[in-house]
Each structure stands twice: as C-alpha cells, then as structure tokens.
Amino acid sequence: MNLARNLIGRINVGDSLTRTAASRPDQLAVVDGDRRFTYAEFNAYVNRLAHGLTATGYARGEALALASGNSADFLAVYYACAKLGVVCVPVNLGWRPDEVAYVLGHSRARGIVVETQLVTAMQDAIATVPGVRDVIVVPDDLADLCAPGDRTADNSKEPEAFVDDRDALSYLYTSGTTSFPKGVVGSHVAIYLESMSAALDSGWRSGDRFAAMMPMFHTAQLNAFCTPAIMVGATIYVLRGFDPAALLGLIERERITQIFGLPMMFRAALDHEDFAGRDLSSLRRAVYAMAPMPDDLIRRCLDGFGCDFALLFGQTEMSPITTLFRPEHQLSHIGAVGTPLLGVQVAIMGPDGALLPPGETGEIVYRGPSTMSGYLDNEEATAKAFAHGWFHSGDVGRFGDDGVLWFTDRYKDVIKTGGENVASIEVEKAIYAADPRVAETVVVGLPHRHWSEAITAVVVPRPGETIDPAELITALKGTLDGYKVPKTVIVADQLPKTSTGKIQKNVLRSEHADHY
C-alpha cells in the first residue's frame, strides 16, 4: 500500500488528534498549570515535535523512551510518536535504575525524552545502555526540537508517514515483582478501538472536563482516559499527582465532570477538611481502579460526591479496560468487577482449556481487538498467554447468572493453607466489613511449618485510630470459616506500593517471611 492510500484509511491514534483539531479547533484540549492549549494549538505543537523528530532521524518502528511526570509535553510526545509510527516507551517513575536500564536496552530505545528534574535520577541508567544515542531534555531540548530548521518554513503542518494499523504504538512494561517487567506491545488498532469503546460505553462527550491525576506513564490514565478524551474532544486538566485539596479546588474552579483515582484517594478527599465546603455539583462520574471499594466507602462516596461511580477493571495487555463495574451495580453487586466493555469478550476457562458455565470458578480469559500484539521478544510468554485461542489474564473469577463478573483473586495470590485454597481478597473484604477503623489492608500467605502457608493480614488504621489485632481476629471468626481467619494481624503505618498505587504483596511476603 502506498503512502496516499495509507493516510486515507489507516487506524492511527495520532490521527484521532488531527481530526478532533479539525472539527473542534477552538475547543480547550489540555490545561497544564498556566499553559492552556486549544485543540488547534495542541495539534500544531504535536506536529512541530513530529517534524523535529523526523529531522533528527526518527522513523517508523524505532523506539523513543519517555521519562516524565504528568504534563502536556508527555501527551505531545506520545501523539507525535503515533503520527510517525515511532514506538513510545513510557518509563515508570517508580522503577529502580537497573529496571530503567533493562527497559531501555530491551526496547532498543534510540533515545529518551526526560524532564529536567528527572535527569539526575535517570543518568546512571542511561549511561549503562550504549544504544541510547539521544537524550532530549524537557523543556529546553523539546523547544529546540520544535523549531524549524528553515525559519521561514511552517512545520505545524501534518506530518505524512506510512504507519500500518498493526504497528506498535507503545511498549508498556508491566510492573515487575519477581523479575524484570515484560514489554507489552500495544498496536494502534488495539488502543484506538479500546479508546472508542471506553468513550462510547462511558458516555463521554466533548463537553467533559477530565482531571488527570493518575500517572500518565501507566496505561489506565493514558489509554483509558486521555486517549478517549482527545478522541471525543474533551478537555484534560493535568495534575502532577494526587493532593486532595488541589483536586477539590480544581473540581470547583474548572467545573470538572470526570475524575479517576484509587479508592484510598477518594477516602482521603472525603476526610479532608475542605470537602464539605466545596461545590462538586459539576461531577458526572468518578472512576476507581485496582480493587472494589468496601461497602462503607462506596456508600460514603456516593453520598459525598453526588455523582455516578464506576470501577475500571482490566490490565495492560488489554489496553487496558475489559469490564466496567457500572453505576447501577455499585450497591446491588458490592465486590463485583462488572460486565464486559463494548468490543471485549470475557469468559471463564478451566485448566484443560474448556470454557465454564456461570457459577463455576476458573481463569478469566479475553478476546477482542484491544488485546496486545504480544510480549516484546518473548515468544514463550506470548504463547502461554494466548493458549487455547484466548488471552489468559492470570485472574481467578466467575460469572453470576445475571452476567456480572466476580473477581476472586490473582492465581499467584491464592493462599494454600492446610490443604485448602483461600482467596486473599475474600479475607480482605471481611476485614473492611468487620472494622471501620481499617484504612487499608492486605492479606498474604507466609511460610508456616504446620499450615504450609499461614493467612496473615497487614492492616493500616485510619488516622487517629488504633486497632487491636486480637479483637479483629475475634470479629472475623464470626463472619469467616475458621480456616480463612488470619493467624496473625500485623498493624503497620503504611503498605508498600508501586508508583501507580498497586500494593506490592511480594514485598510484604519478603519482609515478613520469617514471621512464623
């Protein structure tokens, strides 16, 4: 296919920005501090950056790493890469230097875009990877890249580069727990169609105003919210991170309609002294992720925020949404993870590859065009993930008779104690229900001479509260089967987490390995 034909009919995430800018040029696109871009202005910025990358020699299929906090520049680099067919490799800012170096080498990144304040943190990793030839520092080097070589030229015009629908848009590396992360190859078609499904299924529209406070280097913020927002012509308000006072102020001041965060963030906002005095009436929907909310918290959220709530469930390999726990199910199906996103087929599979009927527990598997192309340079892991013609999530779950999906646990987090299998998430839910003083909890299996693995709970009290382990264990004996009750409750000040808020159970297992 020649370039002209490619430009007409291809599926390219960068083209979604081009077309929104053409149809809504004066609509506000991105607000980042004092910087406010209309869609025409933001698209022109992206195009100048794309031409600068082309002049530097970047071409289809080459990889460019991106180490940046949330910013308009992060989004601009992502979309410039998309328009050229350059593969963007976002760097998780919570990685260790050896993990950063591994990702730079494994992805064969030719260069890296780095925010000024991150240069020192990244320089040791970059120095160990000779393949990284270009270090582009934001903002100065990025500004130089956008300047035309010929000062009379207009480099804000659309770049024209051949990009196939199945070309990689990004390599997103999954959180490493016991080894280095795997590179998930996300194609243009996968992320484009997931963005369309997310926008359509969630009812997002051009008048929506999104607060972007979760890390953009993570697929949830980037591909479940930012790319759909740009596709429909909504406005993205960039926050560098979560601060309850800043979020509440932004919602009131800018009339934010859509927010996305973790359950603990909503709890912190509810508990903040400014909450009662803020006007949050503009909110249409709040989305949370990582885990279902405890009963008491979701009820507080619905009453306090006064808007719809929904849970996003999925994983990086699915670009990322697979199911939505929809507003109408929040109180009738507490603890479920919802029904399939448009365009995603969800099933439960037994160990022999046979699909199971509603009510039976097995591995959650997926089909759909938003599925990753595979793991980068890892055919063995890709083949295992695609066994029996479905993508294997590694999650355990079941469908109810009404078509709602219930997540049981990660396979690796099922605790094998005294010959019984216990889902850690079931015990965690029971703890939240038993004691409202618990702010956060995680349940793991620790090595035990008699039980093989002993169920152990680590709890973090809410501010100003204390928790008596013996009292909590006694309360749990009234709601859980005896073998599911924790042998020990450990009270902690905080839980180890990744930069995206995921609790690191592997760290807790290691820290407390000798507890018994």
Question: pLDDT exceeding 90 applies to what percent of the chain?
Answer: 84
Nearest to 83 by CA among 22, 6, 137, 25: 6
* Number of CB atoms found within 10 A of residue 448's CB: 17
pLDDT at residue 178 in the model: 47
Q: Among residues of the chain, what percentage have pLDDT more than 70?
A: 98
pLDDT at residue 175, as a whole number: 65
Q: What's residue 293's pLDDT?
A: 86
Instruction: Tell how far CA 129 is from the center of its chain.
Output: 27
Could you name the CATH architecture of 418-511? 2-Layer Sandwich (3.30)
270 SS3 class:
helix
- pTM assigned to the model: 0.87
Top CATH class, 3-12+38-189: alpha beta
pLDDT (average), residues 456-468: 95
Q: What is the DSSP letter of 107?
A: T
What CA–CA distance (Å, rounded) separates 376 from 339?
30
Q: Is 287 helix (H, G, I), strand (E, B) or coil?
A: strand
Spatial separation of the C-alpha atoms in residues 334 and 161, rounded to whole Å: 48
Cα 490 to chain centroid, rounded? 29
How many other C-beta atoms lie within 10 A of the C-beta of residue 203?
A: 11
pLDDT band of residue 48 (cuts 50, 70, 90) is: very high
Q: What is the DSSP letter of 331?
A: T
Q: Which tens digits make up the pLDDT trace of 299-330?
A: 999 999 999 999 999 999 999 999 999 999 99
pLDDT at 291: 74
| Sign of the CA dihedral running 384, 386, 389, 392 | positive
Length of the chain: 516
Per-residue model confidence as pLDDT tens digits over 262-287: 888 999 999 999 999 999 999 999 99
Strand partners, 115: 138
Determine how β-strand 87-90 pairs with β-strand 63-67.
parallel
Strands across the sheet containing 405-410: 345-349, 362-367, 391-399, 405-410
The structure tokens listed for 58 are 């970047």
Residues 239/244/247/250 CA torsion (nearest 10 deg): -120
The rounded mean pLDDT for the chain is 94
Cα 157 from chain centre: 32
| CA distances in angstroms from 400 to 284, 404, 463, listed in the order given | 28, 5, 37
pLDDT bucket at 335, cuts 50 / 70 / 90: confident
295: confidence class by pLDDT, cuts 50, 70, 90: confident
> Which residues on neighbouring strands pair with residue 260, listed in sequence order?
287
Tens of pLDDT along 72-105?
Answer: 999 999 999 999 999 999 999 988 899 999 999 9
Higher pLDDT, 296 or 12: 12
Please state whether beta strands 362-367 and 391-399 pair in parallel, antiparallel, or not at all (unpaired): antiparallel
What token pair was written down for 82?
């998309």
The DSSP-derived string for 197-233 is HHHHHHT--TT-EEEE-S-TTSHHHIIIIIHHHHHHT
Does pLDDT of 52 surpass 50? Answer: yes
pLDDT score for 153: 63
List all residues 6 or more positions away from 468 whose beta carbon is below 8 Å from its beta carbon: none
Domains 242-410 and 418-511 share a fold: no
User: 259 or 482: which carries more pLDDT confidence?
Assistant: 259
Q: For residue 11, what pLDDT is reported?
A: 98
Query: In angstroms, rounded to a whole number, what is the distance separating the alpha carbons of residues 333 and 95?
Result: 36
Nearest 10 degrees: Cα torsion 223, 224, 229, 231: 60
Vertex 228: Cα angle to 226 and 234 (nearest 5): 80
Q: What is the DSSP letter of 503?
A: B
CATH architecture of 242-410: 3-Layer(aba) Sandwich (3.40)
Task: Please write the tens of the pLDDT for every residue from 142-198.
Answer: 999 998 766 556 789 999 999 999 999 999 998 654 467 899 999 999 999 999 999
Q: Helix crossing, 424-434 with 295-305: angle to 10°?
A: 60
For the chain, give every domain's residue range.
3-12+38-189, 242-410, 418-511
Alpha helices in 391-490 (DSSP H): 424-434, 469-477
For 350-395, the DSSP string reads -TTSPBPPTT--EEEEEESTTS-SEETT-HHHHHHHTGGGSEEEEE
